[in-house]
């Protein structure tokens, strides 16, 4: 029972001790104190030895119980410390992850910018390809209509939507778009002094269309 600062003296020890002479009872008490302090007491007094044996067994049971409790407390303390260590480690990992995300989000070379650039470029290329296809669809009529008319027709119907994803001919209610029929109507409207789209045309609008036509020719020749 070394290193143990206290022990239980049971009330029913009284029945055994009272049967001893006072001198032997004193020796027994000293014997008990010697034992609970980790010593290995010896005695030649048969009365003390007999009276001490049941007390000794009870003290041993108490000591075993105390060791068990102490071990459980030790294990619980270690488990608590380990749990706190893991919680602190997880908290530190989460903090590092958040900082990493924040750093990535402010990184000027972050890949999302590259993706946006690529996507925008692809969209521009796609709509330019569709515009070129529409231009090619007008080639069969270059001998039937003047270059000015075809350029005006092309400029009008390839005007992009506000979001820049579609052109006017792609948003027409009549689909698929029939350039041959549309050109016939365009020519009729021009002959009436209207715009090719069938709306009355002011002089200013007419001059603007002529300017656009000349610009288209210049661009076409440059290509």
- Across residues 89-95, what is the average pLDDT? 72
CA torsion sign, 81 to 82 to 84 to 85?
positive
Domain residue limits at 124:
116-222
pLDDT digits (tens, 9 = 90+) for 142-191: 999 999 999 999 999 999 988 888 999 998 888 889 999 999 999 998 88
**pLDDT band with cut points at 50, 70 and 90 for residue 67:** confident
Same domain, 123 and 204: yes
Q: Which residue has the higher pLDDT, 210 or 10?
A: 10
**pLDDT band with cut points at 50, 70 and 90 for residue 133:** very high
Would residue 4 count as lying in a domain? no
- Across residues 7-18, what is the average pLDDT? 86
Same domain, 92 and 143: no
Which pLDDT value is given to residue 110?
42
**pLDDT band with cut points at 50, 70 and 90 for residue 112:** very low
Average pLDDT of the chain, as a whole number: 80
Same domain, 120 and 68: no
Q: Could you give the CA distance from residue 4 to residue 203 in angstroms, rounded to a whole number? A: 114
Which pLDDT value is given to residue 13?
85
Would residue 205 count as lying in a domain? yes
Same domain, 124 and 63: no
Same domain, 120 and 218: yes
Same domain, 214 and 121: yes
Which pLDDT value is given to residue 70?
82
Same domain, 91 and 186: no
Same domain, 162 and 215: yes
Q: Which residue has the higher pLDDT, 87 or 210?
A: 87
Percent of the chain with pLDDT over 70: 72
Confidence check: pLDDT of 106 > 60? no
Of the three residues 102, 134, 159, the one that is the final residue of a domain is 102
Would residue 208 count as lying in a domain? yes
Same domain, 80 and 46: yes
Same domain, 95 and 140: no
Of the three residues 69, 102, 135, the one that is the final residue of a domain is 102
Q: How many domains does the chain have?
A: 2
Q: Could you give the CA distance from residue 63 to residue 76 in angstroms, rounded to a whole number? A: 20
Would residue 8 count as lying in a domain? no
Would residue 108 count as lying in a domain? no
47: Cα within 13 Å, side-chain hemisphere: 14
Would residue 44 count as lying in a domain? yes
Same domain, 134 and 80: no
Same domain, 93 and 178: no
Would residue 110 count as lying in a domain? no
Which pLDDT value is given to residue 210?
64
Q: Which residue has the higher pLDDT, 35 or 102?
A: 35
Among the ranges given (3-17, 70-84, 155-169), the one the predictor scored with the smallest mean pLDDT = 3-17
Which pLDDT value is given to residue 111?
47
Of the three residues 43, 68, 102, the one that is the final residue of a domain is 102
Global confidence as pTM: 0.36
Confidence check: pLDDT of 87 > 80? yes
Highest-pLDDT range among 151-155, 205-209, 215-219: 151-155
């Amino acid at each position: 029972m070394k290193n143990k600062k206290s022990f239980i003296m049971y009330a029913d020890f009284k029945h055994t001790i009272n049967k001893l002479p006072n001198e032997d009872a004193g020796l027994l008490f000293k014997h008990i104190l010697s034992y609970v302090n980790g010593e290995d007491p010896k005695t030649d007094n048969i009365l003390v030895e007999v009276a001490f044996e049941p007390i000794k067994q009870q003290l041993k049971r108490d000591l075993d119980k105390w060791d068990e409790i102490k071990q459980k407390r030790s294990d619980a303390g270690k488990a608590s410390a380990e749990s706190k260590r893991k919680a602190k480690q997880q908290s530190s990992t989460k903090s590092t992850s958040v900082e990493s995300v924040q750093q990535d989000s402010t990184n000027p070379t972050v890949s999302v910018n590259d993706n946006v650039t690529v996507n925008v470029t692809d969209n521009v290329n796609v709509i330019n390809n569709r515009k070129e296809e529409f231009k090619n669809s007008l080639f069969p009529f270059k001998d039937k209509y003047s270059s000015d008319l075809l350029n005006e027709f092309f400029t009008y119907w390839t005007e992009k939507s506000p979001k820049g994803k579609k052109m006017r001919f792609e948003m027409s209610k009549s689909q698929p778009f029939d350039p041959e029929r549309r050109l016939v109507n365009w020519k009729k409207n021009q002959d009436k002094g209207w715009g090719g789209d069938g709306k009355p045309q002011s002089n200013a609008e007419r001059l603007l269309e002529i300017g656009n036509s000349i610009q288209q020719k210049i661009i076409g020749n440059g290509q």
